[in-house]
Amino acid sequence: MAERLFQEVRTPIKSPDGDEWGDLRLRAPAQEIFAEFENDFVHCINVPTVTSPSASFAMEYCSREPLAGLAQVMLLEETSYDVVFKGPANSVVELLPLLAGKECRENLFGEKPWHKAGTLNFGSYVGRSWLSVTVDGVESRRVPIEVRSKEL
Protein backbone atom coordinates (compact mmCIF):
# COMPACT_ATOMS: atom_id res chain seq x y z
CA MET A 1 0.00 0.00 0.00
CA ALA A 2 1.36 3.42 -0.96
CA GLU A 3 2.19 5.88 1.79
CA ARG A 4 -0.18 8.85 1.99
CA LEU A 5 1.44 12.06 0.78
CA PHE A 6 0.83 15.06 3.04
CA GLN A 7 1.95 18.60 3.78
CA GLU A 8 2.81 19.45 7.37
CA VAL A 9 3.64 22.64 9.24
CA ARG A 10 4.94 22.33 12.80
CA THR A 11 5.30 25.42 14.94
CA PRO A 12 6.37 25.68 18.56
CA ILE A 13 3.71 26.88 20.98
CA LYS A 14 5.10 29.06 23.75
CA SER A 15 3.76 30.37 27.02
CA PRO A 16 3.43 34.13 27.53
CA ASP A 17 6.85 33.92 29.26
CA GLY A 18 8.44 32.18 26.25
CA ASP A 19 8.59 28.65 27.69
CA GLU A 20 7.96 26.01 25.02
CA TRP A 21 4.75 24.04 25.67
CA GLY A 22 4.94 21.75 22.63
CA ASP A 23 4.48 21.74 18.86
CA LEU A 24 1.23 22.50 17.05
CA ARG A 25 1.02 20.42 13.85
CA LEU A 26 -1.19 21.14 10.85
CA ARG A 27 -1.55 18.56 8.06
CA ALA A 28 -3.28 18.47 4.69
CA PRO A 29 -3.10 16.13 1.68
CA ALA A 30 -0.35 16.92 -0.83
CA GLN A 31 -0.03 16.37 -4.56
CA GLU A 32 3.72 16.98 -4.90
CA ILE A 33 6.91 16.49 -2.94
CA PHE A 34 8.92 19.52 -1.80
CA ALA A 35 12.06 19.79 0.30
CA GLU A 36 11.71 19.62 4.05
CA PHE A 37 13.04 22.70 5.86
CA GLU A 38 13.17 24.21 9.30
CA ASN A 39 13.89 27.61 10.81
CA ASP A 40 13.39 29.19 14.25
CA PHE A 41 9.66 29.56 13.60
CA VAL A 42 8.47 26.48 11.67
CA HIS A 43 9.33 23.00 10.45
CA CYS A 44 7.75 22.32 7.03
CA ILE A 45 7.32 19.03 5.18
CA ASN A 46 6.24 19.09 1.50
CA VAL A 47 5.40 22.79 1.80
CA PRO A 48 6.55 24.95 -1.12
CA THR A 49 8.44 28.15 -0.40
CA VAL A 50 6.92 30.97 -2.43
CA THR A 51 7.53 34.69 -2.92
CA SER A 52 3.84 35.48 -3.42
CA PRO A 53 0.65 33.60 -2.49
CA SER A 54 -1.12 31.25 -4.87
CA ALA A 55 -4.06 28.85 -4.66
CA SER A 56 -2.03 25.87 -5.88
CA PHE A 57 -1.34 24.19 -2.52
CA ALA A 58 -3.13 23.75 0.80
CA MET A 59 -0.05 25.13 2.59
CA GLU A 60 2.63 27.54 1.43
CA TYR A 61 5.50 29.29 3.19
CA CYS A 62 6.25 32.85 2.12
CA SER A 63 10.01 33.35 2.13
CA ARG A 64 9.84 37.14 2.30
CA GLU A 65 9.84 38.95 5.63
CA PRO A 66 6.51 40.06 5.74
CA LEU A 67 5.24 40.37 2.22
CA ALA A 68 2.76 43.24 2.19
CA GLY A 69 1.84 42.42 5.78
CA LEU A 70 1.10 38.74 5.08
CA ALA A 71 2.02 36.04 7.58
CA GLN A 72 4.69 33.59 6.39
CA VAL A 73 2.60 30.45 7.03
CA MET A 74 -0.22 30.51 4.48
CA LEU A 75 -3.25 28.20 4.46
CA LEU A 76 -6.11 27.97 1.97
CA GLU A 77 -9.79 28.79 2.49
CA GLU A 78 -12.36 25.97 2.33
CA THR A 79 -9.67 23.39 3.08
CA SER A 80 -9.66 20.95 6.00
CA TYR A 81 -6.53 20.60 8.13
CA ASP A 82 -5.76 17.97 10.74
CA VAL A 83 -4.52 19.68 13.92
CA VAL A 84 -2.55 17.99 16.72
CA PHE A 85 -1.08 19.48 19.89
CA LYS A 86 0.59 17.53 22.68
CA GLY A 87 0.86 19.84 25.66
CA PRO A 88 2.80 19.57 28.91
CA ALA A 89 1.97 16.41 30.87
CA ASN A 90 -0.88 16.60 33.37
CA SER A 91 -2.15 19.93 32.02
CA VAL A 92 -5.59 20.86 30.71
CA VAL A 93 -5.35 21.92 27.07
CA GLU A 94 -7.87 23.74 24.88
CA LEU A 95 -7.15 23.70 21.17
CA LEU A 96 -7.32 26.88 19.07
CA PRO A 97 -9.48 29.10 21.32
CA LEU A 98 -8.96 32.10 19.02
CA LEU A 99 -10.87 30.40 16.22
CA ALA A 100 -14.31 30.62 17.80
CA GLY A 101 -16.89 30.75 15.04
CA LYS A 102 -14.67 28.89 12.58
CA GLU A 103 -15.06 25.16 12.13
CA CYS A 104 -12.75 23.35 14.52
CA ARG A 105 -13.93 19.95 15.65
CA GLU A 106 -11.90 18.92 18.66
CA ASN A 107 -11.51 15.32 19.77
CA LEU A 108 -9.50 13.83 22.56
CA PHE A 109 -6.28 12.36 21.21
CA GLY A 110 -5.68 9.15 23.10
CA GLU A 111 -6.82 9.32 26.69
CA LYS A 112 -4.60 12.10 27.95
CA PRO A 113 -6.29 15.51 28.33
CA TRP A 114 -3.05 17.28 27.39
CA HIS A 115 -3.06 15.63 23.93
CA LYS A 116 -5.59 17.21 21.59
CA ALA A 117 -6.47 16.67 17.96
CA GLY A 118 -9.07 18.17 15.69
CA THR A 119 -10.03 19.29 12.22
CA LEU A 120 -9.80 22.93 11.22
CA ASN A 121 -11.53 24.56 8.24
CA PHE A 122 -11.75 28.35 7.81
CA GLY A 123 -14.70 28.06 5.45
CA SER A 124 -14.80 31.09 3.14
CA TYR A 125 -12.81 33.32 5.55
CA VAL A 126 -9.80 34.97 3.89
CA GLY A 127 -7.24 37.12 5.70
CA ARG A 128 -4.95 37.10 8.71
CA SER A 129 -5.65 34.88 11.68
CA TRP A 130 -3.73 33.43 14.61
CA LEU A 131 -3.30 29.99 16.11
CA SER A 132 -2.99 29.46 19.84
CA VAL A 133 -3.83 27.02 22.60
CA THR A 134 -4.61 27.42 26.27
CA VAL A 135 -2.79 25.35 28.86
CA ASP A 136 -4.30 25.32 32.33
CA GLY A 137 -6.38 28.37 31.37
CA VAL A 138 -3.40 30.44 30.14
CA GLU A 139 -3.36 31.42 26.46
CA SER A 140 -0.18 30.78 24.49
CA ARG A 141 1.61 33.31 22.36
CA ARG A 142 -0.24 33.71 19.07
CA VAL A 143 1.16 32.24 15.87
CA PRO A 144 0.27 34.37 12.81
CA ILE A 145 -1.14 32.66 9.71
CA GLU A 146 -2.60 33.89 6.46
CA VAL A 147 -5.71 32.30 4.94
CA ARG A 148 -5.55 32.66 1.14
CA SER A 149 -8.39 32.75 -1.33
CA LYS A 150 -8.88 29.87 -3.78
CA GLU A 151 -9.55 32.56 -6.40
CA LEU A 152 -5.88 33.69 -6.70
Mean pLDDT over the full length of the chain? 85
pLDDT for 126:
93
pLDDT band at 67 (very low <50, low <70, confident <90, very high): low
pLDDT for residue 105 is more than 60? no
pLDDT for 76:
95
| Topology (CATH) of 6-148 | Immunoglobulin-like (2.60.40)
pTM of the model: 0.86
pLDDT for residue 79 is more than 90? yes
pLDDT for 109:
46
* C-alpha closest to that of 96 among 117, 123, 75, 110: 117
Torsion of CA 7, 11, 13, 17, to 10 degrees: -170
Interval 24-51: pLDDT, tens: 999 999 988 999 999 988 999 999 999 8
Across residues 71-77, what is the average pLDDT?
93
How many Cβ atoms are within 10 Å of 124's Cβ, its own excluded? Answer: 9
pLDDT for 53:
87
Q: DSSP states of 52-83 as a string?
A: S--SSSSEEEE-STTSTT--SEEEETT-EEEE
Q: Which helix (H) or strand (E) holds 2?
A: none
